Amino acid sequence: MAALRPVLLALVVALTAPSLRAAEAVYPPGSRLGIVPLSGMVTSTNFFGFEDPNASSALILASLPPEAYAELDRSVSAEALRKQGIILEKREPLSLATGKAFLVIGRQEIDKVKVRKWILVGASPSLTALVTLQVPETAKGLYTDAAIRACLATLAIRTSVPVEEQLTLLPFKIADFAGFQVGGVMPGRAVVLTDAPVEMVAQPQPHMFVGVAPGGPAQSGDREAFARDLFAAIPNVRDVRIATSEPLRIVGQPGYQILAQARDPSGAAGLTVMQWLRFGGAGYMQLVAIARADAWHDAYPRFRAVRDGIEPR
């Protein structure tokens, strides 16, 4: 009977792994890393990954630069882990669909709770994947070693995060993009909108920054100085000359507007720059619109359409 145990274990793995591989990897919103999560786990709203709140278990996905793999491969040792409070049980090399990898299994005590940890580090040309699974000893019966290994083997990497998905990570919604394309998203913070890039463009194209931040002046009398300080920090403009600076209301909320003429960093192109601040709640929204001076007339209505169509989530 003892001789059959390895065979039976291999059979369990063989039966479990295909069922996971047949399922589609799930990508947490905003993450390039995806995986088929363990049964009972749901997408976390607190981090990139999955969790089982009832079992206090978590599977965390993190993307690191491509060069991080070689450093981690060299530095992750029993001694290094011990300094972090992790007792190494096993380390082994793996081969995944995404590339070479290694798996570390260990034990740790966190806030007087004993947990088991599986740390997977995977290499790829574009990034290093770091996957950490943490399960309390009291819940170890929920996930067999075979199921965990089958789960980790489903690690997947997508080339990019769809723009529509990136936009869901913003604390506001844009109703009208006015023909602009998304140039970049800072999750939870801001978005840059721009016209489609034109090959060999010698002049800057119309573009717009929309971001939110906590704080801001509580008193209306302090808003002009606050707006001017923010305006002075706008990058990639020079020779700025403020034309108007005045309070206004934006979609029913108090705001402040600054209009200025400037030049691009090279000094070759004349620019028109407008900053709108919209105050409300415990923070403020900053909108910065920039276009060539000779293109401002056509760009301004588009900037206004974006500005007036923004709503909090």
Q: pLDDT digit string (tens) for 160-185?
A: 999 999 999 999 999 999 999 998 89
Q: pLDDT digit string (tens) for 268-294?
A: 899 999 999 999 888 999 999 999 999
Q: What is the CA radius of gyration of the chain?
A: 26
Q: What is the dihedral of CA 247, 248, 251, 252, to 10 degrees?
A: 90
Backbone angles phi, psi at 254, to 5 degrees: -65, 145
Same domain, 117 and 169: no
Q: Across the chain, how many H-helices and E-strands are there?
A: 7, 18
Domain membership of residue 22 as a residue range:
2-157
pLDDT at 309 > cutoff 70: yes
**Which pLDDT belongs to residue 203?**
56
Same domain, 128 and 200: no
Q: What is the dihedral of CA 87, 90, 96, 98, to 10 degrees?
A: 30
Same domain, 134 and 109: yes
Measured distance CA(94)–CA(134) in Å, rounded: 19
Same domain, 28 and 116: yes
Same domain, 23 and 124: yes
Same domain, 44 and 151: yes
Statement: the pTM of the whole predicted model exceeds 0.95:
no
Same domain, 216 and 268: yes
**Which pLDDT belongs to residue 197?**
60
CATH code (residue 252): 3.40.1000.10
Measured distance CA(115)–CA(109) in Å, rounded: 6
Contacts of 20 (CB under 8 A, 6+ apart): 36, 150, 151, 153, 154
Which strand (E) or helix (H) includes residue 19? helix 5-22
Measured distance CA(81)–CA(69) in Å, rounded: 16
The number of folded domains in the chain is 2
Report the share of the chain in percent with pLDDT over 70. 90
Q: Are 24 and 16 in contact (CB under 8 A)?
A: no
Same domain, 146 and 181: no
For residue 61, which amino acid is it?
L
